[in-house]
Amino acid sequence: MSNLSEPLKVNLTIAVMYRDPRLLEEVRSLLEERYGKIDTVSEAYSFSSISEYYDPEMGSGIQKVIFSFENCIGRDELADVKLFCAELEGRYAESGSRSVNLDPGLLSLENFILATGKNYSHRIYLRDGVFAEVTLIFGKKGVIRELPWSYRDYLLEPARSFLLTVRELYREKRERLLGKGAL
């Protein structure tokens, strides 16, 4: 029989797709107001050059950046984060089309989980229209193992290196917080 226990808190990340750098800064400010200080930011990269999936809605030339937050959160908070991100997307939408796309995720030593509003066979329903999927698995020595549904851009640079860097930052946070009994 397994013993049920609260899992350790994990590192919150939010990927932001945008075209207007001023909007990115405004959204960043609102995210920090809500979730605390951002401790590291990926290099911005062209999402449109990887996939044109969002171009019909958001236009061409979409950039993507990933934020990592200093404060760790409970895994059960992912649905709340996704709901807030959806609210922000709606706030900045123009004529029903998003100007910003926000994808919250949880990064632990073992995996990277993303929240979504879209159901599919490999996704688990959380609540209030929010699903979660294990997007990547971290193996030993920082090896990223992709899954059949892994989003390609997370496997490419600079996102790949960023996620591995955040994983190491999380390892340090985890050790500090375990020492304080705060996780």
46: its two tokens: 């062209």
Give the rounded distance of the alpha carbon of 140 from its chain centre. 22
Where do the structural domains in the chain lie, given as residue ranges? 10-109+152-176
pLDDT of residue 9: 95
| 140-149: pLDDT as tens digits | 887 999 999 9
Per-residue pLDDT of the chain (183 residues; tens, 9 = 90+): 889 988 999 999 999 999 999 999 999 999 999 999 999 999 999 999 999 999 999 999 999 999 999 999 999 999 999 999 999 999 999 999 999 999 999 999 999 999 999 999 999 999 999 999 999 999 988 799 999 999 999 999 999 999 999 999 999 999 987 876 655
To which H or E segment does residue 35 belong? helix 21-35
| Multiple choice CATH, 10-109+152-176, 3.30.70.260, 3.10.20.340, 3.40.630.10, 3.40.50.300 | 3.30.70.260
Q: Give rounded-to-5 percent helix, strand, coil for the chain.
A: 35, 30, 35
178: its two tokens: 């375990």
Rounded to whole angstroms, the Cα distance separating 24 from 19 reads 8
Q: Taken in order 65, 107, 174, 126, is the CA torsion positive or negative?
A: positive
Extract the runs of DSSP E, i.e. beta strands, from the chain: 10-18, 38-41, 45-46, 63-73, 100-107, 111-116, 124-127, 130-138, 144-146
Flag whether the pTM goes above 0.85: yes
| 66-95: pLDDT as tens digits | 999 999 999 999 999 999 999 999 999 999
| 11-21: pLDDT as tens digits | 999 999 999 99
pLDDT of residue 181: 62
Helix 78-91 with 21-35: angle, nearest 10 deg: 140
Cβ contact 160:144 at 8 Å: yes
- Looking at residue 172, its amino acid is E
